[in-house]
Amino acid sequence: MSATPLLQLRGINKNFGPVQVLRNVDFAVYPGEVTALVGDNGAGKSTLVKCISGIHPIDSGEVVFDGRRVHIHSPRDASAHGIEVVYQDLALCDNLDIVQNMFLGREVRSGLVLNETTMEQMAADTLAGLSVRTVKSLRQLVASLSGGQRQTVAIAKAVLWNSKVVILDEPTAALGVAQTAQVLELVRRLADNGLAVVLISHNMNDVFAVSDRIAALYLGQMVAQVRSTEITHPQIVELITAGRSGHLGLPADNGTEYTTTGPGADR
C-alpha cells in the first residue's frame, strides 16, 4: 500500500443555489487500494464523484493528482488524467457487441476505416489482464450478457485507456450472489494491478469484503476516513446515520473534539 495519495481533494465546497451540498470535503485515494465511499442518500456521494469527473465545477478547494494541483473542467479533462467512472446505468449499448462498446467514441482507425483487428486484440488483452473468463465471445451483443458480464465489460472499458483511478458507482446493486462475487473479485483485482479504486456502495458486506479504506460522508461533510480494519460495521452505520461514532466523526454538542481518523490511520 502506498503512503502517498494518487488523488487528493482538499477543502472541496459545492453549492447548488442556496443549498450547500459539499462542505470542506477532504478525500484521498491511494494506488493499489480500494477506497469505499459510503453515505446515506443525499449525503453528497454522487456530487463528489461528479466534481472529480468534471461534470460539476467545484466552487472552492483544490484537486491534487499525482502530486500536482490540477483543474478538471470536463469529463475529457478527467479522462486525460486517467480518471474513469463506471456509473450505475453502465452506459452500454445493447445493440452493439463487446468490442464496439469498449471503443465507443474512441474507435481505432486505419485511414478512413475502423481497425477491427487492433480493437479486438486490445479488448482481449484488457479482459485477459483482468483475468475475466466469463465472456464467451468478444463479438457477443451486450443485450445477450448477464448483469455481472455487463458490469465486467463496463469496468474493462474504463481501464482500457491506461486509467489510474477507477470510480465504481454501486457495481453490485442489481446482481445476484454469484455475480456479485465475480464483480467484487474483479474490483479487488483492479487494485492489485496498481489502480486506485473508489467503490461507492450501500452494501456493507461488499465494502468490508474488498476495501482497504472507508470514507464516510454525512450531509455533505467527510466525517471519517479510516482503514477498514480499524472500524466496525456498527460504527460505519452510526457515521452514515448520525455523523459520529465514539471518537470518530463530527464534534459532540458539548464542543469536545473528535478526530476523523481512526487509531493508526494515515493523517
pLDDT tens, per residue, the chain with 267 residues = 567 999 999 999 999 999 999 999 999 999 999 999 999 999 999 999 999 999 999 999 999 999 999 999 999 999 999 999 998 888 899 999 999 999 998 999 999 899 999 999 999 999 998 888 888 899 999 999 999 999 999 999 999 988 999 999 999 988 889 889 999 999 999 999 999 999 999 999 999 999 999 999 999 999 999 999 999 999 999 999 999 998 899 887 644 444 444 444 443
Task: Report which of 134, 147, 50 is spatially closest to residue 89, judged by C-alpha positions.
Answer: 147
pLDDT of the residue at 174: 80
pLDDT of the residue at 91: 86
DSSP sequence for 180-227: HHHHHHHHHHHHHTT-EEEEE-S-HHHHHHH-SEEEEEETTEEEEEEE
pLDDT of the residue at 1: 55
Q: Per CATH, the architecture of 7-90+163-249 is what?
A: 3-Layer(aba) Sandwich (3.40)
pLDDT of the residue at 262: 46
DSSP sequence for 108-150: -EETTEE-HHHHHHHHHHHHHHTT--S-S-TTSBGGGS-HHHH
What the block records as the C-alpha cell of 75 is 469529463
For residue 31, list its beta bridge partners. Answer: none
pTM tops 0.95: no
pLDDT of the residue at 257: 41
Domain boundaries, given as residue ranges, for the chain: 7-90+163-249
pLDDT of the residue at 259: 43
pLDDT of the residue at 133: 83
